[in-house]
Structure 1
Amino acid sequence: MALTLYIVRHAKAEDRAIFMSDFDRKLTSDGVMAAARMGRYLKGEGVLPDVITSSTAPRASETAKGIAEQIGYDLAKIDFNEKLYEGGPKAYLAAINAVPETAQSAMIVGHNPDVSYLAEFLTHQTIGSMSKGAVVAVTFENLSWAEVSGRTGNVSFQMTPKKLSNEQ
């Protein structure tokens, strides 16, 4: 049985102002639209994860909500994990390993460089720096979520807001 993990980098956020902490940055209007566009794309691909986990930073949580609204995921069920903000790749791996075994698919929404590193670590494939709002889908064959680790997955697809704009 295969598991699928959707790794999402938050969409475009406002620049950091002198009076604003990095944590508090919100999505720009372009970021809101990109998250919605990505959600519509994922819905068209039949994506409806059993679990969505997101960083608590506004730009990540707004991205998670924007995608969830489009795919029909209950916003009240999004798991907001404060450790994903500045927790490093170990925090992401811990969140993945904690996904309930009943779940066939999961989505994790967070920040660079952690999400890009995570995608490469899990697949041992070159992903590069994920663009804002991008999604990388990784599949795992014959593993439980607790067994997911380095070099255990394969990229099934990658999509960016820019590619979606060019396709429309």
Structure 2
Amino acid sequence: MKKTLIIVRHAHTQDPIPCQEDHDRELTPEGRIAAIKSAEWLKEQGITPKKIVASSAKRTQATAAALANGLLGNSGRFEAENILFRASETDLLDFIHENFRQEDTILIVGHNPTVTQFSIRLGATSISYLPPASAVILSFEIENWADLHFHSGKLVAKNLTEEA
């Protein structure tokens, strides 16, 4: 059986303002447009996730909302998870093991440097950096997400966006 994982870095954000928590940074107008374009690119690939999960940060949620709207027709069809905000690559792997079972295709929206390193460790070895709003599609010959391991995936497609 084949499983597909889409990894997206959140779109471009506003610079932090004094006393603002990193968690509360918003997307720039250009970032919102880039998130919509990422959704359009994924739709062109013929990939529709069964589930979209994002970090609890405002910028990842806004990116996930654009993706959910473009891919699933509803900007509210994603879940926010606190654990993904400062997750390491191993944390992301554990999160997938613990939270997904039979879904064929899942999409995770997260932060750098973790999403870049996670993509590379799973099998996207031709990638060195994911700019904001970039997407990577990986496939795995596994029956269940609990069988997902580093260095076991195949890069299917990538959309490495340019800075806004």
The match for 1:98 is: 98
CA contact (8 A) 2:124 2:155 kept: no
Checking the alignment, whether the CA contact within 8 Å between 1:48 and 1:73 is kept in structure 2 is no
1:122/1:150 CA distance change after superposition, 3 Å: same
Return closer, same or farther for 1:74/1:99 CA change in 2, 3 Å cut-off: farther
- Residue in 1 aligned with 2:88? 88
| Paired residue type of 1:146 | A
* Whole-Å separation in 1 of the counterparts to 2:126 and 2:2: 22
Q: CA deviation at 1:147?
A: 1.1
Deviation of the 1:94 alpha carbon: 1.8
In 2: Cα distance, 1:122 partner to 1:20 partner: 34
Q: Provide structure 2 residue ranges, at least 5 long, that are not aligned to the other structure.
A: none
TM-score by length of 2: 0.92
Q: Distance in 1 between matches of 2:57 and 2:124?
A: 28
Instruction: Give the match for residue 130 of structure 1.
Output: 130
TM-score relative to the length of structure 1: 0.90
Instruction: Tell me the distance in 1 between the aligned counterparts of 2:28 and 2:64.
Output: 14
Q: Which deviations, in whole Å up to 9, do the C-alpha atoms of 1:1-59 show, x marking residues without a partner?
A: 11000000000000112221111101000000000111112112222101111001000
Counterparts of 1:1-168 in structure 2, within 5 Å, are 1-123=1-123, 125-162=125-162
CA RMSD of aligned residues (A): 1.8
Residues 77, 67 of structure 1: CA spacing in aligned structure 2 closer, same or farther, 3 A cutoff? closer
- Of the structure 1 ranges 80-89 and 7-16, higher mean CA displacement relative to structure 2 is found in 80-89
How far apart, in 1, do the equivalents of 2:103 and 2:16 lie?
37
CA deviations on 1:53-87 (whole Å, 9 max, x unpaired) are 10010000100111110112544441211011112
Alignment partners' CA distance in 1, 2:86 and 2:155: 25
Which letter does structure 1 place at the counterpart of 2:98?
A
Letter in 2 for 1:36: I
Shift of 1:92: 1.2
- Residue type matched to 1:67 in 2? L
**Gaps (5+ residues) in structure 1?**
none
